[in-house]
Amino acid sequence: MKCSLRVWFLSVAFLLVFIMSLLFTYSHHSMATLPYLDSGALGGTHRVKLVPGYAGLQRLSKEGLSGKSCACRRCMGDTGASDWFDSHFDGNISPVWTRENMDLPPDVQRWWMMLQPQFKSHNTNEVLEKLFQIVPGENPYRFRDPHQCRRCAVVGNSGNLRGSGYGRDVDGHNFIMRMNQAPTVGFEQDVGSRTTHHFMYPESAKNLPANVSFVLVPFKALDLLWIASALSTGQIRFTYAPVKSFLRVDKEKVQIYNPAFFKYIHDRWTEHHGRYPSTGMLVLFFALHVCDEVNVYGFGADSRGNWHHYWENNRYAGEFRKTGVHDADFEAHIIDMLAKASKIEVYRGN
């Protein structure tokens, strides 16, 4: 009897050890394959998955990544959408000029310095070193969470926004990017009231609320000197035109548009049509490189074929086409191609 009980206990013990071993193996494997753990798991340990940008997602998709690469209904990283797009897109070029990419390639430096030639030359790196003591000089878009959808609205200044009623839809995006003067007060129903990024050059600059990122589009070294001055001493009051001596913006949110990215758009996308890409193109491709989903408003002519700003009473003003600097027709063609490739959705307005 005692022998039977001993055998029974040993059998039960071995069975329990076997079951516990299976459970431990299964739980260890499950935890090891989780893409991330919620905050507070494992006794408060935070585990963060670093997420590649579109170029990394593109590479992963070719290596067997299935399904969507983001949480959007339409993702920048979706596979097989367009050979044309993939042959033009380069995710390795940062849209933001930072401490890490201060040194411009020689061909970029030459091209950029000829956009608006100056009588006095400046050492670009020295100017940037001083500027980055005032503004962050970091890239805030390096990583993003694939489990979230960063929806971006690129809002142009076209008169086709008048009477469009797009305001509420625009305001529903995570990032809302505007350019140059772009007023919202009085036009909220059509253009929205929120702004997260405002792209300007010195001659078009205006004061911004504290929660808006001012993205400087520099055409020359003097523009970098100007922003440093406008945020400190106020000494520079003139470039090739009068500029604001002081600028009220959030210093911690100031970003500098990368001239290498500027030239990349000129070479790869607008293909040297026009002297250089329009601000609208610069903002659109900035969004294509930092967002998961891009929706475009206020680009192109109105329904009557007129080119004017939505805040102008004269619908025949057509300042964009009068300059001769940009090729409006070719840029419109690029927008159509991006829409056909399902990389953007264009809202045509009126």
> Residue 46 contacts by C-beta under 8 Å, 6 or more apart in sequence?
37, 39
Q: What is the pLDDT of residue 20?
A: 45
Q: How many CB atoms lie within 10 A of CB 1?
A: 5
Q: Is the dihedral of CA 317, 319, 321, 322 positive or negative?
A: positive
Tell me which residue of 101, 107, 85, 92 sits closest to 263, measured CA to CA. 107
Q: How many CB atoms lie within 10 A of CB 61?
A: 16
Sheet with 197-200: strands ordered across: 255-256, 213-216, 197-200, 175-179, 151-155, 293-297, 344-347
Distance of CA 77 to the CA centre of its chain: 14
> Residue 172 contacts by C-beta under 8 Å, 6 or more apart in sequence?
151
Q: What is the pLDDT of residue 197?
A: 98
Q: Is 240 annotated as a binding residue?
A: yes
Distance CA 129, CA 141 (A): 21
Please, are residues 132 and 227 in contact by the beta-carbon 8 Å criterion? no
Q: Is 125 annotated as a binding residue?
A: no
Q: Is 159 annotated as a binding residue?
A: no
Q: Is 326 annotated as a binding residue?
A: yes
Q: What is the pLDDT of residue 323?
A: 56
Q: What is the pLDDT of residue 53?
A: 43
Q: Is 276 annotated as a binding residue?
A: yes
Q: What is the pLDDT of residue 6?
A: 55
**Secondary structure (H, E, C), 252-268:** HHCEEECHHHHHHHHHH
141 labelled catalytic? no
**Which residue of the set 276, 289, 297, 308 is catalytic?**
276
Q: Is the pTM of this model over 0.85?
A: no
Distance CA 219, CA 72 (A): 35
Q: What is the pLDDT of residue 92?
A: 94
**Which residue of the set 88, 289, 308, 326 is catalytic?**
326
Where are the chain's structural domains?
83-140+150-304+341-347
Q: Is 314 annotated as a binding residue?
A: no
Q: Is 116 annotated as a binding residue?
A: yes
DSSP H helices, the chain, are 2-32, 41-44, 54-62, 83-88, 106-113, 124-131, 167-171, 188-191, 221-230, 259-264, 279-290, 319-322, 328-340
Q: What is the pLDDT of residue 297?
A: 98
276 labelled catalytic? yes
Tell me which residue of 189, 193, 182 sits closest to 162, measured CA to CA. 189
Superfamily of structural domain 83-140+150-304+341-347: Glycosyl transferase family 29 (3.90.1480.20)
Distance CA 216, CA 203 (A): 11
Give the DSSP letter of residue 326: B
Q: Is 118 annotated as a binding residue?
A: no
Residue with tokens 């007023």: 183
Reading the chain (350 residues) residue by residue, the pLDDT tens digits are 444 555 455 555 555 544 444 333 333 333 222 222 222 222 332 222 223 344 444 433 333 333 456 778 777 666 455 899 999 999 999 999 999 999 999 999 999 999 999 888 899 999 999 999 999 999 999 887 888 899 999 999 999 999 999 999 999 999 999 999 999 999 999 999 999 999 999 999 999 999 999 999 999 999 999 999 999 999 999 999 999 999 999 999 999 999 999 999 999 999 999 999 999 999 999 999 999 999 999 998 888 888 889 998 876 665 555 556 889 899 999 999 999 999 999 999 98
Q: Is 36 annotated as a binding residue?
A: no
